[in-house]
Amino acid sequence: MPQRTGALLLVSGPSGSGKTTLCRQLARDGEAHYSISCTTRPARENEVNARDYFFLSREQFRDDVSAGNFLEYAEVHDNLYGTLRSEVLSYLQRGQDVVMDIDVQGAAQVRSCDDPLITASLVDLFVMPATEDELRKRLANRATDSEEVIETRLHNALEEMGQARFYTYQLISGSREEDYRRFRALLVAERMRVSRLA
Ligand code: 5GP
């Protein structure tokens, strides 16, 4: 049977769009490796180091930047977030699909990356909340964040949505089940791209 190279499914969207849930579900179903990001933000109550994020101090993060360990990194909501090269490249090389949940600044960096493996693997998708009201509701339902954090996130969300046009695919969020069905269908189709077949 022909071998193929992995697809790099890059997903962005405002907080509360449901994108993290989609990415996590895909990984839980064994469809792709979830790229665990580094962040300087404190862990939320239910989060576990090296499962949800690698939680780093600003100093540790800066050391990784200096060592060239990041494929991309950006400041988001006053914290640093970055993707380690090791979370992506080795999987793609082995023909495994990778899903990454990153912001619009990080997405722009990955898109302009000159690594041929990244360029050949990349599939970028923006998850859009159906309406502003829906987004507000979802953000407010996140009991883990304070009022102030929710307001910052809402403001940033509206700005981020202006970047959706730079993505190849856009998923307008409906029900969780329907979103996941369409999300998985995108990966299934991308696996059949002739250019991925060795
Ligand atoms: P949260 O703090 O809610 O987990 O994530 C906040 C934002 O940071 C989300 O938009 C998420 O996509 C983004 N983010 C998470 N990991 C990374 C990363 O490695 N790089 C970049 N650029 N953004 C990230």
Query: pTM (2 decimals)?
Result: 0.93
Quote the pLDDT of residue 1: 58
| Distance (Å, whole) CA 54 – CA 32 | 19
Place of tokens 């369409």: 182
In angstroms, the Cα distances linking 18 to 72, 129, 136, 177, 180 are 22, 8, 13, 11, 10
The superfamily in CATH containing domain 8-191 is P-loop containing nucleotide triphosphate hydrolases (3.40.50.300)
Ligand 1 within 6 A of CB of 136: no
pLDDT digits (tens, 9 = 90+) for 53-90: 999 999 999 999 999 999 999 998 889 999 999 999 99
At residue 144, does pLDDT exceed 90? no
CB 69 within 8 A of CB 38: no
Q: Which one has a higher pLDDT value, 17 or 43?
A: 43
| Distance (Å, whole) CA 189 – CA 63 | 39
What is residue 183's three-state secondary structure? helix
Confidence of residue 139 (pLDDT cuts 50, 70, 90): confident
80: CB partners within 8 A, 6+ apart: 38, 39, 40, 58, 61, 73, 74
In angstroms, the Cα distances linking 106 to 82, 124, 132, 163 are 8, 12, 23, 12
Structure tokens at 147: 């009022």
Quick one: 16 exposed, middle or buried, by C-beta within 10 A (0-12, 13-18, 19+)? buried
Ligand 1 within 6 A of CB of 74: yes
Ligand 1 within 6 A of CB of 102: yes
β-bridge partners, 8? 98, 122
Ligand 1 within 6 A of CB of 70: no
Q: For a pocket test of ligand 1, which of 8, 76, 149 has the largest count of ligand atoms closer than 8 A to its C-beta?
A: 76
